[in-house]
Amino acid sequence: MEDCIFCKIVKGEIPSNKVYEDDEILAFKDINPLAPIHILVIPKKHITSTNDIQPEDEKLMGKIFLTIKQIAKKEGFAEEGYRVVNNCGENGGQEVNHLHFHILGGKKLGTKIV
């Protein structure tokens, strides 16, 4: 989608620090990390938010979570644990309107999520 930052990252028009890539999924380091580990995992195809996930995306969503698990293992923080966050829409605090999952870790995170 035009004027979508993350679509531009997928196309290589904006550089990113890639952690994982396949034909459907891209993971890269957040530009403004909120924890020692802060990775964003996105579908390469433009899906605006969780509200826009369609039934045909079911397999892709499962693959995204398996990818999150694999990234945690490969990057060496699976055992110590981490948090996966998806912000949806205005009240959810979503700033980039391309579906993404934050992986946060590298320190003991606060117990509150709001």
**x/- string (CB under 5 A) for Zn ion, residues 81-100?**
-----------------x--
Q: Does 64 bind ligand 5GP (CB under 6 A)?
A: no
Distance, in Å, from the CA atom of 20 to the CA atom of 73, rounded to the nearest integer, reads: 12
Q: Does 96 bind ligand 5GP (CB under 6 A)?
A: yes
Q: Does 4 bind Zn ion (CB under 5 A)?
A: yes
Backbone angles phi, psi at 16, to 5 degrees: -145, 160
Per CB under 6 A, the list member of 43, 72, 94, 103 interacting with ligand 5GP is 94
Q: Are 82 and 72 in contact (CB under 8 A)?
A: yes
Distance, in Å, from the CA atom of 91 to the CA atom of 46, rounded to the nearest integer, reads: 21
Active-site position among 38, 98, 100, 102: 100
- Strands 18-21 and 101-105 come out as unpaired
Q: Which residues bind ligand 5GP (CB under 6 A)?
A: 5, 14, 16, 28-32, 40, 87, 93-96
